[in-house]
Structures are given as structure tokens and as C-alpha cells.
Amino acid sequence: MSDPLVQLTGVGKSYGPIRALYDVDLRVGAGEVTCVLGDNGAGKSTLIKVISGLHPHTSGSLRVDGAERRFSSPREALDLGIATVYQDLAVVPLMEVWRNFFLGSELVAGRFPLARMRIREMRRIADQELRKMGIVVADIDQPIGTLSGGQRQCVAIARAVYFGARVLILDEPTAALGVKQSGVVLRYIAAARDAGLGVVFITHNPQHAYLVGDHFVILKRGAAVLDAARGRVTLDELTTQMAGGDELAELSRELGRPA
């Protein structure tokens, strides 16, 4: 196992009197996929917000390359190579594909107030990077909202990779997608891992997680209930835990239908 790029130790997060996250440990190294599973409200999105810099954590420690950090803006996390692709906030639908690709990291020439974007170059690079990843868009000038959901996620991931992300945090990238589209995204996750990136893959689908994961963390009500490496846990165990585990067994007794 390589040294962790990002390591969380006992991280907790409170919003005023409400505790959304307790004492969570998580690590991701280069070329590894760490899957975070959990039901709705389990604390997955809070965890992402802490790592991506949207909301700072309130207890525990977050280390990037071994150095203690507490982010106060997404820019700080981005500058350390931690890029997040949100399920619903991946792109700006009405903007052209190339504008989305470079949003926030535009290439400019000249000085203020006459600085202008190097548009031709940006369009060429966006097209080239997307092709490299097997996404062929008919027209780099079309609004990104015209692409399929899977393609939009892939553009967002390709963008993060191009801009030097070392750690990718993917927030339910397959949640709203069909089987085929999910396959596109999962292949892409595997490609990013093979390219040496650390991936934190957040999902509520254990099948998807097991296809690409090296390490699995299951969250429940803000705390980790399972933390195991691949080989220490089977898909069945993951599925059972995710489906509710003991609670499910109890429920099945209660509802008591004969087999």
C-alpha cells in the first residue's frame, strides 16, 4: 500500500448543535479507489464537503500528503490537487462544452484589463482531452446540457484529471444513470485509478462499488460501521450491510412472511 494522499482520522462535523459526522477514518492512496457507501442521510455528502473544502471539519484531523489541513474554500482543496465532481453540480448546462471544461481555470493571454481567453487553444485542448478519454462530442460548442448524464459526468472527471487532480472525489456519479451509462462512468473511474489517481467514490450501490473499489467504508447515521479492504469483505456482506444489515433481519422477523 502506498502512502496516503488524503487521510482522515477521527473526523467529525457539527452544524451548530447537530452532529452530522462522528469520528470517521478514511484514507486514499495513489492508484486506489476508496468507496464510501451509505444510505440517504448517512453523512456521505457531509464527508465530501469536508474533503472538498466546502465546509471545514469541526473535530479530528485531515491530512494531505501527511500535512494537517483545514480547508475554508474549495479553491484551497483544488490547489492541493483534490477535485470534486458533484452529481448535481458537475457542470453549467447552458454553457458550451469547452467553456465548462475550462471554467475556473481559463487560459488567458495578456494583462488586465486587456486579458482575453485563448479560446482556440481551449477548444482544441477540450476536444483532445475528451477524445483521449473516449468521449466524442459532435460539437465542442454545443451547450453541455445537450450531452447525456454519463457524458456530462465524464467531462467533469476529464476536466479534473486534466487540471492536475491527484485525488478525485466522485459524488454518486452513477446515481441518476442507466446501466449502460453507469458502465461508461465506472470504466472511467478504473482508467483514472490506473493513471495513478486516488479516487474517493461515493455511492449507495454496492455492486458498482465492488466493481472498482480497493477499500470500502460504510457510513450509517454519521458514523462508520464498516471499514475494510478488498479481500476482507465480500459483495454479499457489503450488500447486506447497505441494505440495512441487522435492522433488515429484525424487520424481516417482524413482518414474518413464510419463505
Partner 1 sequence: MRRTLRLLARPEAGALAAAVVIFVFFLAVAPSFRSLAAFCTVLYQSSTIGIVAVGVGLLMIGGEFDLSAGVITISAGLVNSMFCWYFGVNMWVGAALSLLFCLAVGFLNGWLVMRTGIPSFLVTLGTFFVLQGANLGVTKLVTGSVSSRDVSAIDGFDSLRAVFASSTTAGAATIWITVLWWVLFAGVAGWTLQLTRIGNWIYAVGGSAGSARAVGVPVVRTKIGLFMVVSFLGWFVGMHLLYRFNTLQAGNGVGNEFLYIIAAVVGGTLLTGGFGNASGVAIGAFIFGMTSLGIVYAGWDPNWFKAFLGVMLLLAVLVNTYVRRLSAGKAA
Q: Which residues bind partner 1 (CB under 8 A)?
A: 52, 54, 74-75, 78, 84, 86, 88-95, 99, 102-106, 108, 115-117, 119, 138-139, 141-143, 145-147, 159
Q: How far is the CB of 119 from partner 1 (least distance, A)?
A: 7
- With 0-12 / 13-18 / 19 or more C-beta atoms within 10 angstroms meaning exposed / middle / buried, residue 28 is buried
Q: How far is the CB of 133 from partner 1 (least distance, A)?
A: 18
> In a 3-state reduction of DSSP, which class is residue 200?
strand
Residue closer to partner 1, measured from CB, 81 or 206: 81
Residue closer to partner 1, measured from CB, 41 or 104: 104
Residue closer to partner 1, measured from CB, 119 or 243: 119
Q: How far is the CB of 117 from partner 1 (least distance, A)?
A: 6
Q: How far is the CB of 2 from partner 1 (least distance, A)?
A: 27
Residue closer to partner 1, measured from CB, 111 or 253: 111
Q: How far is the CB of 103 from partner 1 (least distance, A)?
A: 5
Estimate to the nearest angstrom the gap between the alpha carbon of 140 and the chain centroid. Answer: 25
Where do we find the cell 475494510? 228
Q: Do you find a cis peptide bond into 113, omega within 30 degrees of 0?
A: yes
Residue closer to partner 1, measured from CB, 77 or 186: 77
Helices (H), 53-195: 74-79, 97-102, 119-132, 149-162, 179-194
Residue closer to partner 1, measured from CB, 102 or 216: 102
The total of other beta-carbon atoms located within 10 Å of residue 196's CB is 11
Q: How far is the CB of 137 from partner 1 (least distance, A)?
A: 12
Where do we find the cell 489517481? 197
Q: How far is the CB of 242 from partner 1 (least distance, A)?
A: 27
Sign of CA dihedral 175, 205, 186, 49: positive
| H or E, element range at 241 | helix 235-243
Residue closer to partner 1, measured from CB, 92 or 243: 92
Backbone angles phi and psi of 213, in degrees to 5:
-80, 150
Residue-wise DSSP of 9-68: EEEEEEETTEEEEEEEEEEEETT-EEEEEE-TTSSHHHHHHHHHTSS--SEEEEEETTEE
